[in-house]
Chain A
Amino acid sequence: MSDVAGVGWWGEKPSPSLAWGRRLAASWASTLGAALVLGLGVGAAPAAGQQMDHAGHRMPMAEGAWRMPPMDPNMPMLPGLEMALPPVAPFLAAAGIDISTLPEARPSEVVEMAGGDTLDVDVSIVRRTLNGHEMAMYGYNGQYPGPLIQAPQGSTVVVRVTNRIESPTTVHWHGVRLDNAFDGVPGLTQAPIEVGETFVYDVKVPDAGMFWYHPHVREDVQQDLGLYGNLLVTPPDPEYFGPAHREEVLVLDDILMDEAGAIPWGEEAPTHALMGRFGTVMLVNGETDHGLDVRPGEVVRFYMTNVANTRTFNVTFGEARVKLVGSDVGRYERETWVQSVVIAPAERYVVDVQFPEEGPVVIANSIQAVNHFRGEFYPHVDTLAVVTVGGDPAEGSTADGYEDLRENAAVVAELDPLRAHAGREPEYTLETTVRVNGLPLPIVVSMEIDTLYVPPMEWNDAMPMMNWLSTGDQVTWILREAGTGRENGDIAWTFDEGDLVKIRVFNDPDSFHPMNHPIHVHGQRFVVLARDGMANDNLVWKDTAIVPVGSTMDILVEMSNPGDWMLHCHIAEHLHAGMMFDFTVRPAP
């Protein structure tokens, strides 16, 4: 069995930063511990006489103590686990602080920046009300999501981040090929920003597209509590994308709550280490009731970002036609019609949607969930947002030209030559697998039975009890290098600037309990050359791509940015369960 003790508190490579991790963990734990002693008296152990209300799956405990996450009341409790709790302490933000004293968070604001401009960003504790519950959460400049930063392509903007939450943090500029020192990975590119300290990020933005920023310290907690925002890098060409009447942002998220509020997070290590922490409340732009008014015929460009810990969404726009025009780092070779948008954690997609008819249009997450107990798929739809179409019709060539699908000659000229690499062997192959150590026996037995069939994707938390009880101390998710057998932080890759490196990622379906993984490469960009041996006929630059169970994905990474960079699964709990390593790109002589 693997020893996961080397996995740091915030998810960086265990060595040489382990000392930092332990110190920070101790720091945060001591802070929390003091708060708990003073305030709530929260502990990991259940109080004597606790009774699981199986009908409602509730434990009659204080808000800050462990409560079992909501689960289908028709599903029986796994025998032997009725009183089980995760073997870590529960954590809620601002424990011991009167929530009413916290500043109320406000919606995201747009910050237009020019090259050289400076933005001050405070990372702070805020008050939010979700589903009728006042909660302490985190915010960038007190906003949900954080400020939408707009910057012109090719510029460098300065973001001065001050940490005013209760634990260390950093800011990672996801997908941005900026200078290595500002990538926001503690222990690798910077020291964590301690409470009360400031770090200045020079954010160089060479590529157009919709990017995002988030912590790289306990993402499973800090990001889930609201620390995320978009960075829109605008190209100089006003016709970079086709015409649209307006542009909107859709930041997709979920948060795990029950009738008492947020289910606590794990303090020393993440809970939900098996499948990641699926939420029960859907959030769009931080809201539970996001809405939009548009005119009939209006073409709306949606910049979609998935900031959820683990949930992959299948987003539908009612009966409206959806034109896919861009993804993580720019435009596709060719625009295409799609019926829905499958967006994995950390991915971005850009779609143009025309709303022809008056009336409401529901933007929904439409999935076939799995009920492992019954052995069934079942349809499940969550409303994400409602578009109200009404008023005077939108007019002009924008509406008329919506039917056109563009081929982007410049993108084709840049990306098509990369197809020549489809035919050669990859330089490296990574296999994904998982090891567990110390999970309760009923969970292990149930998982072994369950793996008679593993779906390509986990769209929902089909085993919330087992998932909740698994922590990052008991589960090790693994990226294993084929050939050497090296795993996670032991993988040692060095490249030269300018290298085009082909990497194959194989999601091993024969591992103990496989799951889909969104693979993210820091500081570089890549194209997905092929999946399961089938060539990709419409390339786009990416920084994150999903690998379903059993599938093989070939990516070609352009090593264009010198420094030490991470490669990891972007399911927050998998990252903290070890599924990561770093590689080096040496500068060109």
Chain B
Amino acid sequence: MRWSSLVLTPLVGVLALGVGGATLGAEWEACLQPASPEYYQFAMVPTGRVPGTGNARGTADVWFPHTPFGVAVSPDGSYRYEFRLRFERLRLPRQGSFVVWVTTTDLDQVEAVGELTDPAAFEGEVGWNKFLVVVTHEDAFDPEAATWQGPVVIRGMSRSGMMHTMAGHGPFEQEKCSSYGYE
């Protein structure tokens, strides 16, 4: 629903009433539920490789962290996002852990974000323009792990991943992909 912020903003505001001082109270911050622009939401899709997770569904909400400028970017200009995962029909494993990772679309950079302990609410951050969110089944959560070892349970790609080369497509149908480094 496009106007999710219409629902959430009044709640935030009601909670804000009477709050004094410039610093938001911790209890107020805890009540803030940022409304992700729906356009940038993306689906989390199961691989079916992990027993009992094939019917799972999920959504990744994406929004900018607070910034004085209205749009959050790093010094190199990459967008900075916060994301929230919400899963349905995803049961946590009896053994081992579900671990959330973010990775670039060509998998050359991987970061462990955290252990998924609540399928209804998991929040993390990512600082890439195009990225994947991957949930894997690991023996244990290791924040120092370079990448995952276990099977992928469910994964999704940022909306920006839909930005794809036009070479060989649409109005550029006659352009040879190979001319632009694509095989």
Partner-B contacts on A (CB < 8 A)? 74, 76, 78-80, 312, 314, 316, 324, 327, 332-334, 336, 338-344, 366-368, 370, 372-377, 379-380, 407, 412, 416, 419-425, 442, 445-446, 449, 452-457, 459, 504, 506, 508-510, 516, 528, 530-538, 540, 545-554
Contact = CB atoms under 8 A, between A and B. Distances in A.
A416 B37 CA distance: 26
A340 B75 CA distance: 6
Contacts of A423: 9-17
B71 interface: yes
Nearest to B161: A453
Interface of B: 2-6, 8-24, 32-40, 63-64, 66-71, 73-79, 129-130, 159-167, 169-172, 174-175, 180
A334 B172 contact: no
Contacts of B63: 532, 534
A536 B34 CA distance: 11
A425 B10 contact: yes
Given A423-B15, A554-B9, A372 B75 contact: no
B74 A339 contact: yes
22 contacts: A342-B67, A343-B69, A344-B70, A372-B166, A375-B164, A376-B165, A377-B78, A377-B129, A420-B16, A423-B9, A423-B10, A423-B14, A442-B171, A445-B170, A446-B170, A446-B171, A516-B71, A532-B34, A533-B34, A534-B32, A535-B12, A554-B9
A449 B170 contact: yes
Contacts of A368: 73, 76-79, 129
Which applies to chain B's interface (DSSP): helix, strand, loop or mixed?
Answer: loop
Given A332-B68, A342-B73, A416-B22, A532 B36 contact: yes
Contacts of B39: 454, 509-510, 549-550
Which of B35, B130, B163 counts the most A-chain CB atoms under 10 A from its CB?
Answer: B163
Contact of B70 (A412, A449, A553): A553
Given A333-B22, A510-B39, A548-B70, 11 more contacts: A316-B75, A340-B74, A366-B76, A377-B78, A423-B14, A446-B170, A532-B37, A533-B12, A533-B32, A538-B68, A548-B64
Nearest to B29: A537
Nearest to A332: B68
A420 B163 CA distance: 41
A321 to B, nearest CB: 12
A541 to B, nearest CB: 13
A168 to B, nearest CB: 34
Which of B4, B160, B171 counts the most A-chain CB atoms under 10 A from its CB?
Answer: B171
Closest 9 CB pairs of A and B: A423-B13, A533-B35, A550-B37, A509-B39, A422-B13, A342-B69, A367-B77, A533-B5, A550-B39
A421 B13 contact: yes
A531 B64 contact: yes
Nearest to A336: B68
Contact of B172 (A74, A373, A533, A536): A373
Contacts of B71: 312, 342, 456-457, 516, 546, 548
Contacts of A449: 166, 169-171
Contact of A374 (B36, B161, B174, B180): B180
A416 B74 CA distance: 28
A379 B73 CA distance: 13
A533 B171 contact: no
Contacts of A338: 68
